[in-house]
Chain A
C-alpha cells in the first residue's frame, strides 16, 4: 500500500511539473513608485491587467464592441484583440503588433506597452535584471507623429504640424530654398503622407531628427511658433524679397493659356466599373475624354489630360496637376455602377466641404492659428479668415455653377434620366483650387444604358454636351 501511495504522490508531483513546464508561462516583474508586480507573459506578450493595477489605472471591457478601454487620469486608450488600430485619446493610431486575448483580458508586446500605452500615460520602460521599471517621462528619441495641415490664404500660407506629443525644435532656413525643422531627441514621422495641397508648401520629408519643408520659388518663412493644447508647430510662409544670390533654376512644366484639365477616371489596374467582360469604365472614360478634348480644342480652349493612356494615376495627383497648371477648370469623367440594375441616368457632382468632420476641425484649427498669430486678441486676425472663407466659397459657388451648366446640357441633349447635381466629398475634387466637377455619364450596370454608353455616336454626343456645358459656364463667367 505504501508503494501505491508513493506512486500516486510521484505521479501527482510529476503532473504538476509537466503542467508548469508546458502550460504556464514565465512572469516578468514590473516596478513603479515603490511597488512591484509580476505579470504573466504569453509568448512575446505581457498581461495588461496587472500593469494597469500597478499604475493605478482602470481597465474595462465592452463585450458588444469587443474593445478594451485602458484609462489613467484623462488619458483613454481603446484596444481590441487582434486589431492593429487603436484609439489613443480619440486619435486613431496603427500599431505594429496587435494585442491578443489573454486569461485576464488582453496582452500586448513590450514595444506596444512602451510606445502606445505608457507613452500616452507619460511613462516609459527601463530595464533591470529580471524585469522593468515604469518611470515617468516619455522616452527621448521616440517617434513623434506629425499630421500636416496647410491653408493657403491671400498672400500667406499657414502650415500646421499637429504633433502626437510635445517636442523641442529649432528651425533653420536652407540656403538652396526651403527650411529644416530640427527635432531634439525625437524622430518625426508623417502620418498618412499625402501630397500637400498648397501653392507655397510643396512637400515635407521626414528624416532622422528633422523635417525638411520644400517651398515654392520666392516663398520664405515669415514666422513660426510652438503651441500647446493640442501640441503643434505653426509656420507661416509668404513671398520674401529676392536674395542677392540667384534663385535656383526650376523647370517650368507648362507655360501658356490656363488649360482645362480633363481627368479620365480610373486607369491601369484600377478598372473602375465593369459592365460586362471587356467593358471597363477606365476605357470608356478615356475614350470620352479624348472626344471631349477634341471638342474643346475645336472651340479654342487649351486642354490637358491627367492621363492619355491606360495608366494608373493617384487621385490626389490628378487634382495636383490641375493646381500646378493653374487650370481654369477640372472635369473628372466617370461611369457609374449600382447593385440595383434599374438605376440609370447621368449626374454631376461638385465638392462638399461640410461632409467631413476634419474640414470643420481644419477650419477650427485655421481659426485657432489665426488667433494665435494675431496675438492675444480673442477675435484674432479676421482678414485671413475672411480671405479663406471667400476663396472656399468662391470655388464652391463656381463649381456649383459649372455642375449645373454641364448637367443641363446632358439633360437637354441626351434625353438621359436627370439624376441632378449633387455634392459629395470625392477625393479627386478635394483641394482643387479651380471650379471642379465629377461627371457620371451613366450606369454601366444598367443594360440599356450600357449599350448606349458603348456606342461611339453616344460617346461623341456625351462629349459634345459636356463641351457645350463648359462653354456655357466659361461664356457666362
Chain B
C-alpha cells in the first residue's frame, strides 16, 4: 500500500477515535468507582403472561360495570398500572361508555414506597361538568387499578399537577381507596 495513503487512513482513524472518545466517554470520568457502577440499567422487556383483568366502564344507569379482558400483565406495579390505564383509555367493547370523556393520554405512573400509585394523565381540553362525570372518571380508574394490582391507593394527577377537584365536587387532592358503591351489583 502506498505510504501516503496509509498515512491518510491512520489520520482518519485517529480523528474518528478522538470523536468517539469525546462523544461517549467524556462524562463520568471517576476511575475508582466508574467501572463497578453502571451509569444506567437499560430496560429489559420481559414477556408477560396473559391474564384476565376487570376493567370498569360507566353504564346507562350511572354506575360502573365490569368488562373482562385478557391482557399481558407484567408483574411490576407501575407497568401493570400502565397496561390497565392504556386498556381503559382504549375504551369499552361492550356498549358501555368511556371512562374518560376526552382523548386522554397517560403521561407517567409513580408508585411510592407506601404502595400508593400516582397516575398522571393529560387534562381535559375543555372543562368537564357534573359530579357523575367526575365520579365515573375517578372511580373507573381508581377501582380498576385497585382491583387488579397490589397498590393500596391511587391519586390522579392532570398535566403533571395535583388538582383539588375536577368538576368542583370530588376531593382529588389526596389518594383514593377502593369505592365499591359506584360498581354495579351482580
Residues on A lying within 8 angstroms of B by beta carbon are 1-2, 5, 8-9, 12-13, 15-16, 19-20, 24, 27, 35-40, 47, 49-50, 52-54, 56, 58-67, 76, 78, 80, 83-85, 87, 89-92, 94, 103-105, 192, 265-266, 270-274, 281, 315, 334, 336-340, 342-343, 349, 352, 354-358, 360, 419, 422-428, 430, 438, 440, 443-445
Contacts and interface: CB of A to CB of B under 8 A. Distances in A.
A12 B12 contact: yes
B39 A337 contact: no
Contacts of A426: 131, 169-171
A16 B22 contact: yes
Contacts of B82: 64-65
Contacts of A343: 60-62, 132
B155 A92 contact: yes
B183 to A, nearest CB: 12
B109 interface: yes
B39 A53 contact: yes
Contact of A67 (B32, B78, B131, B174): B78
Interface in B12-69: 12, 15, 18-19, 22-23, 26-30, 32-34, 37, 39-43, 45, 58-62
Contacts of A91: 112
A12 B13 CA distance: 11
A451 B120 CA distance: 38
Contacts of A338: 58, 62, 130, 132-133, 136
Interface of B: 4, 7-8, 11-12, 15, 18-19, 22-23, 26-30, 32-34, 37, 39-43, 45, 58-62, 74, 76, 78-79, 81-83, 97-98, 101, 107-114, 116, 118, 120, 129-133, 135-136, 152-153, 155, 157, 160-162, 164-165, 167-171, 173-177, 179, 181-182
Contact of A334 (B107, B116, B131): B131
Given A5-B11, A192-B162, 8 more contacts: A5-B8, A50-B28, A53-B33, A92-B110, A355-B176, A422-B181, A425-B170, A427-B171
B39 A105 contact: yes
B95 to A, nearest CB: 11
B133 A356 contact: no
A274 B162 contact: no
B4 A5 contact: yes
Given A64-B78, A419-B62, A425-B176, A336 B132 contact: yes
A192 B62 CA distance: 32
A53 B28 contact: yes
Contact of A12 (B11, B30, B98, B175): B11
B108 A80 contact: yes
Which 7 A-B pairs rank lowest in CB-CB distance, beginning with the nearest?
A337-B130, A37-B30, A90-B112, A357-B153, A50-B28, A49-B39, A273-B129
Nearest to A31: B30
Nearest to B102: A339
A266 B28 contact: no
B33 A67 contact: no
A340 B60 contact: yes
B150 to A, nearest CB: 14
Tell me the interface secondary structure of chain A in the complex.
Answer: mixed
Given A92-B155, A334-B131, A65 B78 contact: yes
Contact of B118 (A24, A92, A266, A358): A92
B109 A56 contact: no
A27 B160 contact: no
Given A53-B33, A65-B82, A104-B27, A424 B170 contact: yes
Nearest to B97: A340
A49 B40 CA distance: 7
A356 B171 contact: yes
A9 B97 CA distance: 68
Nearest to B153: A357
A60 B40 contact: yes
A440 to B, nearest CB: 6
Nearest to A83: B160
B87 to A, nearest CB: 13
Contacts of A90: 112-114, 116
A16 B108 CA distance: 39
6 contacts: A35-B32, A37-B30, A56-B37, A90-B113, A315-B165, A343-B132
